[in-house]
Amino acid sequence: MSVHFAGSRSRDRPRVAIIGAGVSGLGIGWRLAAAGCTVDLFERNFAGGGASWAAAGMLAAGVEAEPGEEALFRLNRMAQQLWPEFRSELEAESRRDIGYRDDGTLVVASTRDDLEQLRHVATFQAGIGVELEWLTAAEARRREPCLRAGLAGAVFSPHDHQVDNRRLAMALKDAALARGCRLHEARTVDAVDLEAGRLRGIVVNGERHRADIVINAAGAWANRIDGVPEPCRPPVRPVKGQMAALRMDRSHPIATRVIWGPNTYLAPKADGRLLIGATVEERGFDDDLTAGGIMAVIEAAWRVLPGIEELPVDELWAGFRPTSRDDAPVLGASGLDGLLLATGHHRNGILLAPVTANLLAELVLTGRTDPAIDAFGLDRFRRVSHAGAAS
């Protein structure tokens, strides 16, 4: 799907302020500016500098699907299907290559216990419609010759692809700017501006900024904006991830597609960086790199691809997944007129970028909440919290 708003005039269009210029905020801003809205993006760091920068860029609806998250799987699958067109449009408008690679994902099991676990997960995934192909150890090593010898087995997922998330963020920034978005970097939004309970805009560095519509796309910081009534705050927290990038020989990369193994993934990028990750830590906004965290990341990757021990370390970092209580995004109405939410994407923010951009823009322009995101509103938490699940 693409979003075209031909013949629009800016005077009919709302004035929009977006909190957070990650791939979610930038994508929505790009779409809205293209439709003729006046868009101001406020970013506490630099555009794309939060979770969008820290991510690994996997577009993995299939191999990441977990029991109990079938609805999220359908949304992720829809995003996967939107990606090729989203990518073409974005690359054309930004004149940037975003490193989209459609060579699938390999999941390997190292030991018999791992293989049992992989069978368990793959059976669930196949049951909800993920296409998976079982490979013998020999077949897996034919596809990725540097895999450790003595694997117990593997599956190949032909529809789980990847993108270079940092290039994606830069392309979205350029496309948004080219469409006339105003970007305010290193500007933290303190509060929403309410007058007699009605939203008038936001407060940035003590100054008021008027807007008809405010979109909270502030990622892990999304529930820290003052002035928002408690029921309109998304239940989002930071979930820390430590990661490493190694530098491969570009002419002989030791991995050519995304590989998942026990407690690890490896995502080789076109520029020769091999991203490996990631820890999952409930540590608030503590961004320390720890010896144990980095060791866990490197050791788990090394068990799958021993050749990484020869590679230089390019970068180590920690980032914060914006994680909602049920790991699914919080999209759409907040309960406060004029304030919309686009946060809580957990580990799916890059994958969901086309859905977030297209459907939030549609909501702003037409007032219509697409059925695809209906189940991902903030109100789902209110429904659940008092019902309880006890028989």
Q: Which of 95, 264, 73 is nearest to 171 (CA)?
A: 95
Closest approach of another protein to the CB of residue 261, in Å:
18
Q: Which of 129, 334, 316, 350 is nearest to 229 (CA)?
A: 334
Q: Which is nearer to another protein, 68 or 367 (CB)?
A: 68
Question: Which residues from 6-25 bind another protein, rule CB under 8 A?
Answer: none
Q: How far apart are the C-alpha atoms of 11 and 21, rounded to whole Å?
A: 24
- Residue 339 class from Cβ within 10 Å (0-12 exposed, 13-18 middle, 19+ buried)? buried
Q: Which helix (H) or strand (E) holds 265?
A: strand 264-268
Q: Which is nearer to another protein, 292 or 312 (CB)?
A: 292
Structure tokens at 249: 């020989």
Among 236, 274, 275, 308, binds another protein (CB under 8 A): 236
Please report whether residue 283 would count as binding another protein according to CB under 8 A: yes
Q: How far apart are the C-alpha atoms of 3 and 17, rounded to whole Å?
A: 20
Please tell me whether the peptide bond between 278 and the residue prior to it is cis, using omega within 30 degrees of 0: yes
Span interacting with another protein, options 24-32, 234-242, 262-270, 296-304, rule CB under 8 A = 234-242
Please report whether residue 389 would count as binding another protein according to CB under 8 A: yes
Concatenated DSSP letters of 85-131:
HHHHHHHHHHT-----B-S-EEEEE-SHHHHHHHHHHHHHHHHTT--
Among 87, 166, 237, 347, binds another protein (CB under 8 A): 237
Please report whether residue 379 would count as binding another protein according to CB under 8 A: no
- Name the CA radius of gyration of the chain, rounded: 21
Q: How far apart are the C-alpha atoms of 386 and 390, rounded to whole Å?
A: 11
Q: Which is nearer to another protein, 9 or 383 (CB)?
A: 383
Please report whether residue 216 would count as binding another protein according to CB under 8 A: no
Q: Which is nearer to another protein, 149 or 390 (CB)?
A: 390
Among 281, 314, 370, 379, binds another protein (CB under 8 A): 281
Question: Which residues from 314-343 bind another protein, rule CB under 8 A?
Answer: 323, 325-328
Span interacting with another protein, options 22-30, 40-48, 73-81, 232-240, rule CB under 8 A = 232-240
Among 227, 235, 262, 335, binds another protein (CB under 8 A): 235
Helix axes 70-94 and 353-366, enclosed angle (nearest 10): 90
Closest approach of another protein to the CB of residue 179, in Å:
34
Helix axes 165-178 and 23-34, enclosed angle (nearest 10): 30
Q: Which is nearer to another protein, 44 or 247 (CB)?
A: 44
Q: How far apart are the C-alpha atoms of 86 and 227, rounded to whole Å?
A: 35
Closest approach of another protein to the CB of residue 154, in Å:
21
Q: What is the DSSP letter of 386?
A: H
Q: Which of 339, 102, 386, 306 is nearest to 225 (CA)?
A: 339
Closest approach of another protein to the CB of residue 35, in Å:
34
Q: Which is nearer to another protein, 139 or 282 (CB)?
A: 282
Span interacting with another protein, options 139-147, 231-239, 298-306, 313-321, rule CB under 8 A = 231-239
Please report whether residue 166 would count as binding another protein according to CB under 8 A: no
CB 130 within 8 A of CB 67: no
Question: Which residues from 124-163 bind another protein, rule CB under 8 A?
Answer: 124
Among 97, 229, 284, 315, binds another protein (CB under 8 A): 284
Closest approach of another protein to the CB of residue 380, in Å:
9
Q: Which is nearer to another protein, 5 or 124 (CB)?
A: 124
Question: Which residues from 33-92 bind another protein, rule CB under 8 A?
Answer: 66-69
Structure tokens at 118: 């992989």
Q: Which is nearer to another protein, 34 or 336 (CB)?
A: 336
Closest approach of another protein to the CB of residue 371, in Å:
22
Q: How far apart are the C-alpha atoms of 173 and 94, rounded to whole Å?
A: 8
Task: State how beta strands 38-42 and 182-184 pair.
Answer: parallel
Closest approach of another protein to the CB of residue 284, in Å:
5
Closest approach of another protein to the CB of residue 329, in Å:
12
Q: How far apart are the C-alpha atoms of 313 and 256, rounded to whole Å?
A: 18
Interacting residues toward another protein by CB under 8 A: 66-69, 124, 223-224, 235-237, 281-284, 286, 323, 325-328, 381, 384, 388-391
